[in-house]
Amino acid sequence: MTEAETPAAASAPTQRRTVLHVGCGPASPHKLPPAFFPAGEWQEVRLDIDPSVAPDIIASITDMAAVASASADAVWSSHNLEHLYPHEVPVAFAEFRRVLKPGGFALMTMPDLQQVAALVAQDKLGDAAYVSPAGPITPLDMLYGLNSALAQGNHYMAHNTGFTARTLEAGLRAAGFPVVRVVRDGNFALWATAYMAAP
């Protein structure tokens, strides 16, 4: 999903809404996508398993017991789900649903393995597919985790599962989200929005 296609902050809110930013990483004003701007309309609550990034809540996305049920208007997850093992993904989706308020939504992005596989089939496993703030990203990085971070001992960056648009949508629907939209952005990423109810 392109930034322009992310769900807009609908009509003018009467109070600030809460976005639970799971797997937030180091604090940065640029970590929220346009769905959560203008920023004054949203209160970011940062959750991460890594205490070194100083989150508001230290927890795994598969066990967010520290977050009250039906307490967040939105959940934002950028490149976290691929770090789980396949059997943990439904648990994380269930946690997303549990913490969302009625009418809330989960917005997530991750590598599109279908696009990555096309490069692998062209024997471009180690070639740069694009350049990120962390440097060149290869299909190998997208499949298994950012090699430079892993080499520095950051094992949180290892990838243990992956998705195509079809498998991501199927997983979210199986988790009980009645409305799911998945978009392939053409830049090696999937964007999914899973709604608690029709938007």
Q: What is the pLDDT of residues 111-145, one digit of tens each?
A: 999 999 999 999 999 999 999 888 899 999 999 99
Instruction: Give me the residue spans of the domains in the chain.
Output: 3-111+163-195
Measured distance CA(68)–CA(101) in Å, rounded: 10
* pLDDT higher than 90, residue 12: no
**pTM tops 0.75, yes or no:** yes
Beta strands in the chain (DSSP E): 17-22, 42-48, 57-58, 72-78, 100-111, 130-132, 135-137, 179-184, 189-195
* pLDDT higher than 80, residue 7: no
Cα dihedral 181, 69, 63, 36 sign: positive
Closest C-alpha to 169, from 161, 156, 152, 181: 181
Measured distance CA(122)–CA(138) in Å, rounded: 13
Per CATH, is 3-111+163-195 categorized as 3.20.20.100? Answer: no
Measured distance CA(91)–CA(62) in Å, rounded: 6
